[in-house]
Chains A and B, each alone.
Chain A
């Protein structure tokens, strides 16, 4: 199970942090700081894996990837495959890249809610839900289209009934 997804910049500022089990705000901050201090002390060109029992409890692993000014971090337990998690970060970044065309740190900060929408389509309740970035993108676009529509008209528009799942 995936325990947490984090994005933070190289100064240690969290950009997105999502924990799949509830943690108090202080604990979250402590973990973010702990992860950052470990990551920032890692040299270049080493593995992307860390065993991080000291922060997240026994059998916790961490996979991270460093893109420009951002660290993408996944924390998970022994039931996931490290290399596959590395690819999940890849999926996330590819999707964001398609979403924002040439994603950068600012996009992530300023589109906070969209980031969460994307993330929720990929990881759901700590499990990998979807890894096809086209599908993720499609879902996110549908959501934003509908949100925009619902915003312009306060009532639920007629067109929405077209979305109803044919049971």
Chain B
């Protein structure tokens, strides 16, 4: 039946010619549609290409036919075949006077060519001519081509014409001219910078459509430079007000909403303009409030505007009333059956949570529903929300969930992202080192090939350094638990290479340290790894080095080493390896086995991975040997420079002078051919910077700046520094904080073995007893999850308290409170942007500090700010301009401290808010030998005030 209908339609179209298509085109489309395989399709297309090649070259093709050929060509290229032979024909068609051919030509070239294609040069002239055409449809076609085909170099060729078109009689042309200018601005802002005022002017165009089109370039311009458009706030508010009051012609209504696309663009622009600007925000309160009342939440477009309002409110400084409205709209979204609206609700929640943290708690059950929804998009959005609201009290639940999800998906791109988020959250909020290691193991096990190699190095460093305090016992415990977990995992098949490297390294360093496992047991495991992953040279290298360390520790402690037969065969195999690296490692291992305990101990001392290796650049330890040699008649050493200098003296005085001058500067003439008599001359010229200066010269400023940038870059990526603070810093603050951070773990039952879910399960097993007595409508599982996600003051737990007796409370207490206290007692402000229940008292003080310092700087900018707001005063015809200046600057300040609080947390935690911390940090850093370049902590003080 369906088939019949199709055929009927085809016949009908074949007879009418449809929109100018012939039978042949229909046949082509049909045969491609019916082809069973890619090969068949390719064959059809190739024969079609042959036909077209011939036809296009025929003289006197009828215009209608010509158009059809071109469309067939475009169609073929869309299917992914090469149609480049026809490009030149498309270009020729644009030159045609016939509108049909011209438009087809333009369509084809915009689809075929990119702006840097060689053929463009042949089109620019035509475009110029067509832009001046009397026929507005020709002009429109040319403008369309302008958008796509004009590049930075050709913009000047068409710019005057396009600017003229801004005043064209047809609004369709004006609109497109604005869009074309917008495109120019995107491609090369400098080329149209002098024309920006045109956009402002066109905002007052008599046609609302043109005004709407102007909003697109203005949005871009304003997002680049908010300050110079502040004066437009009142105009935008005015326009939006008029639109919502249906002052526009009825034809602009869409689904009973007045010009919704214009409304949305306006809201986006106003969000930019009023971001953190109290006075601008206040101007918008009225119209936003109106929108919440007027928007029809039964249509899709009405919800689109509502969502845009929420987004706007999350950017500006809102009134409590507006926040309420937004929260209400979000709850409507979340309660809706539509997945689209739920998605928007979750997104809105993620935005509002920054300004009003308790809003999420009202919707916890809805959020959990979304987390378990079959819709992947919704799930990801919800994970994003959870990521934003992670704090130390719920990190375990959230990270567990994330890891479960990470394991379940196949999309490598997203897997990488969620893995790095897990790592980031674990580094920031980990309640214990054991938990951290467990999480890392899981991440490595399931996404090992996707995570950054730095994460692995970081994990190894953590295990090596432990808490960074003098508590060796805890460190050993940590290492033992790591070793145990690795010995469990190691026999699983197909582990990622990176993870195996970590495992081998840790087993080598600490496998036998505790005495629990014998050297032969560990070395057997390592041999297995090297065997099982014999194609991975890096893993093999790590394994061999680990073996070497194991044997070294055995020899050093005076025990007799018997090398397992499989190790022996491994070593022999590697001695003949093609990889020089593996070969060298094997030879070293073999040599080491023959040494005595004293020598071995000095080669590979126990647990010395964190020690600095001091390089004696003067080779002073050889002095005795040299002395001996000289005494026995050897020539004393003459440095290369002296040697070559001496030769110059004898050979060529002039050139030696020449080289003295140029050796430190760039040389612009070609190097002369090396002369056999002065072999070292070129090398002296080739090394313009003498090596010693690299070490001893003014290297402090350089090194500090580089280390700062290094920190910043790492902050952007993975915030690896977080770990150092989390585990490293407390010891230098006070020992109490460290000791206070351990008992809660014990209380939580995460002593040693329990895996990542240990805390969650122990905390959630208690509510289980209470849920039997509770009302059954809501899945208790979900409620438990909600309680663990949303922490103390959640609404569901309030209802719990009512229904169930004391049984629940202590459970919650143990679940949340001790964990929450861990970061509270640590002296560093935790980089916890969205912590709900934790008062930000301490961090507030720290956060405002730099701004006090900045205030001095602001004095000058106050004047500037005054100037710009004066202009605004002129526009708004308001006499209260001077008052505004101060308030706006104040609000700017408060906004800065508000909105940038998050970032300042991070910068503080990485750089240290005061010199004391900076000093401590520096000491720590130097002691660990991680970053030996940062030598002057007071420089940080200068930088940070």
Are A and B associated in one complex? yes
The interface of chain A, by Cβ under 8 A from chain B, is 13-14, 16-18, 22, 25-26, 28-29, 42-43, 45-51, 53-54, 79, 81-84, 86-87, 90-91, 104, 106, 109-114, 116-117, 120, 124-132, 134-135, 139, 142-144, 146-148, 150-151, 154, 156, 160-161, 163-167
Quick one: CB contact mask for B242-280 with A, threshold 8 Å, 1 for yes? 000000000110110000110010001000000000000
Distance in angstroms between the alpha carbons of A89 and B65 in the assembled complex? 32
- Are A13 and B33 also in contact (CB < 8 A) when A79-B268, A167-B168 are? yes
List residues of chain B with CB within 8 A of the CB of A90: 300
**A87 lies within 8 A of B18 (CB):** no
Q: Judging by beta carbons under 8 Å apart, are B300 and A87 in contact?
A: yes
Report the minimal beta-carbon distance from A97 to chain B, rounded to whole angstroms.
15
Inter-chain contact B252/A146, CB cutoff 8 Å = no
Minimum Cβ distance to chain A for residue B603 (Å): 48
How many angstroms between the C-alpha atoms of A109 and B219 in the bound complex?
A: 36
Contacts of A148 in B (CB 8 A): 100
A-B contact pairs, 10 of them (CB 8 A): A14-B78, A29-B80, A46-B373, A48-B339, A84-B301, A129-B175, A144-B19, A148-B100, A151-B63, A166-B169
B147 on the interface (CB 8 Å rule)?
yes
Given contacts A25-B77, A127-B216, contact A113 B169 (CB under 8 A): no
Query: Does B114 lie within 8 Å of A22, measured CB to CB?
Result: yes
Q: Is B172 an interface residue when CB atoms closer than 8 A count as contact?
A: yes
Contact B374 A124 (CB under 8 A): no
* Interface residue from A45, A84, A151 paired with B261 (Cβ < 8 Å): A84
- Report B3 CB to chain A, min CB distance, Å: 12
Q: Are A146 and B167 in contact (CB under 8 A)?
A: no
Query: Which residue from B79, B170, B377 sits with its C-beta under 8 Å from A47?
Result: B377
Given contacts A127-B179, A127-B216, contact A167 B169 (CB under 8 A): yes
**Cβ of B26 under 8 Å from chain A:** yes
Q: Are B97 and A45 in contact (CB under 8 A)?
A: no
> Is B544 close to A, CB under 8 A?
no
Q: Assuming A53-B413, A110-B29, A151-B64, is B340 touching A83 (CB within 8 A)? A: yes
Given A47-B343, A120-B144, A163 contacting B137 (CB threshold 8 A): yes
* Nearest chain B CB to A115 CB, angstrom units: 9
Q: Is the CB of B97 within 8 A of A156?
A: yes
Contacts of B82 on A, CB cut-off 8 Å?
A: 25
Q: Which residues of A contact B114 (CB under 8 A)?
A: 22
Q: How far is the CA of A150 from the CA of B209 in the complex (A)?
A: 29
Take A46-B377, A147-B103, A163-B137 as given contacts and tell me if A83 and B80 are in contact as well, using a CB distance cutoff of 8 Å.
Answer: no
Cα(A41)–Cα(B98), bound, Å: 46
CB distance from A138 to the nearest CB of B (A): 10
Q: A29-B80, A47-B339, A87-B301 are known contacts. Are A142 and B137 too (CB-CB below 8 A)?
A: yes
B618 lies within 8 A of chain A by Cβ: no
Q: Which of B309-340 contact A (CB under 8 A)?
A: 338-340
Chain B: residues with CB nearer than 8 A to chain A?
Answer: 6, 9-10, 13, 18-21, 25-26, 29, 32-33, 63-64, 67, 71, 74-75, 77-82, 97-100, 103-104, 107, 111, 113-115, 134-137, 139, 144, 147-148, 167-170, 172-173, 175-176, 179-180, 182-183, 209, 213, 216, 219, 251-252, 254-255, 260-261, 264, 268, 300-301, 303-304, 307-308, 338-340, 342-344, 373-378, 380-381, 411-414
Shortest A6–chain B CB gap in Å is 10
Q: Are B261 and A128 in contact (CB under 8 A)?
A: yes
Enumerate chain A residues within 8 angstroms of B71, measured Cβ to Cβ: 112-113
Query: In the complex the two chains form, what is the Cα distance from A110 to B114 in whole Å?
Result: 26
Residues in chain A near residue B81, CB distance under 8 A: 25
Which residues on A sit within 8 Å (CB–CB) of B209? 130
Q: A110-B21, A132-B254, A156-B97 are known contacts. Are A43 and B182 too (CB-CB below 8 A)?
A: no
Out of B103, B167, B213, which one reaches A143, CB within 8 Å? B103
Would you give the shortest CB distance from B86 to chain A, in whole angstroms?
Answer: 13
Residues of A within 8 A of B378 (CB): 46-47
Name the one of A42, A129, A164 contacting B134, with C-beta atoms under 8 angstroms.
Answer: A164
Closest Cβ of chain A: how far from B291's Cβ, in Å? 14
Say yes or no: B414 contacts A54, CB within 8 Å.
yes
Are A160's CB and B135's CB within 8 A? yes
Chain B residues in 8 Å Cβ range of A82: 304, 307, 340, 343-344
Contacts of A113 in B (CB 8 A): 19-20, 67, 71, 104, 107
A54 to B170, CA, bound (A): 42
Measured between beta carbons, the chain A residues less than 8 angstroms from B180 are 125
A106 and B414 contact, Cβ closer than 8 Å, known pairs A25-B77, A47-B343, A156-B135: no
A87 touches B411 (CB 8 A): no
CB pair B374 A87 closer than 8 Å:
no
Q: Report which of B77, B175, B260 forms a contact with A87, defined as CB distance below 8 A.
A: B260
Knowing A129-B176, A135-B251, A167-B167, say if A161 contacts B25 (CB, 8 Å). no
Name B98's contact: one of A46, A54, A120, A150 (CB within 8 Å).
A150
Task: Please tell me if the beta carbons of B77 and A125 are within 8 angstroms of each other in the complex.
Answer: no
- Contact residues in A for B268 (Cβ distance below 8 Å): 79, 81
Contacts of B18 in A (CB 8 A): 110-111
Q: In the complex, A114→B255 CA distance in Å?
A: 25
CA distance A160 to B136 in the complex (A): 10
- Shortest Cβ distance from B99 into A: residue: A150
Instruction: Give the Cβ gap from B185 to chain A, nearest Cβ, in Å.
Output: 11
How far, in Å, is A124 (CB) from chain B's closest CB? 5
A83 in contact with B300 given A14-B78, A45-B339, A46-B375 (CB within 8 Å): yes
Instruction: Return the 10 tightest CB-CB contacts between A and B, nearest first.
Output: A83-B304, A54-B413, A165-B169, A47-B339, A22-B114, A125-B147, A46-B375, A29-B80, A150-B99, A164-B134
Shortest A45–chain B CB gap in Å is 7
Whether A84 pairs with B135 at a CB distance below 8 angstroms is: no
Please determine whether B219 and A79 come into contact, CB atoms closer than 8 angstroms.
Answer: yes
Closest to A149 in B: B99
Tell me the minimal C-beta distance from B397 to chain A in angstroms. Answer: 24
* Docked CA distance A28–B10 (Å): 29
- Chain B residues with Cβ below 8 Å from A54 are 411-414
Given A112-B71, A113-B104, A139-B172, are A147 and B254 neighbors across the interface (CB < 8 Å)? no
**Closest B residue, CB atoms, query A16:** B78
Residue pair A150, B343 in contact (C-beta under 8 Å): no
A114 / chain B contacts, CB cutoff of 8 Å: 19
Which of A43, A163, A165: most chain B Cβ within 10 A? A165
Identify the closest chain A residue to B82 (Cβ): A25
Distance between Cα atoms of A11 and B712 in the complex (Å):
48
Given known pairs A28-B80, A165-B170, the reply for A112 and B148 (CB within 8 Å) is no
Cβ A22 vs Cβ B137 within 8 A:
no
Determine if A49 and B343 form an interchain contact, defined as CB atoms under 8 angstroms apart. Answer: yes
Q: Please give me the residue from chain A that is nearest to B68 by CB atom.
A: A113
Name the B residues within 8 Å of A86 (CB-CB).
Answer: 300, 304, 340
A112 pairs with B176, CB closer than 8 A: no
A27 to B169, CA, bound (A): 40
On chain A, the residues within 8 Å of B413 by CB distance are 53-54
User: Is B340 a contact of A81 with CB atoms below 8 Å?
Assistant: no
Residues of B within 8 A of A106 (CB): 6, 9-10, 13
Beta-carbon nearest neighbor of B62 in chain A: A151
Contact (Cβ within 8 A) A14 B377: no
Q: Quick check: B100 and A163 within 8 Å, CB to CB?
A: no
Q: How far is the CB of A101 from chain B (nearest CB, A)?
A: 12
B300, B339, B377: which contacts A51 (Cβ < 8 A)?
A: B377
Question: CA separation between A160 and B307, bound complex, in Å?
Answer: 46
Cβ contacts under 8 Å, B20 to chain A:
113
Write out the residue numbers on chain B whose beta carbons fall within 8 Å of the beta carbon of A49.
340, 343, 377
Nearest-neighbor residue (CB-CB) of A142 within chain B: B137
On whether the beta carbons of A18 and B254 are closer than 8 Å, the reply is no
List chain A residues, Cβ under 8 A from B373.
Answer: 46
Q: Which of chain B's residues have a CB closer than 8 A to the CB of A83?
A: 300-301, 303-304, 307, 340, 344
Given contacts A51-B377, A87-B304, A112-B74, contact A164 B135 (CB under 8 A): yes
Complex formed: what's the CA distance from A83 to B100 in Å? 36
Known: A82-B344, A167-B167. A25 touches B80 (CB 8 A): yes
Q: In the assembled complex, which residues on chain B have CB atoms less than 8 Å from the CB atom of A116? A: 107
Which of B18, B380, B414 counts the most A-chain CB atoms under 10 A from its CB? B18
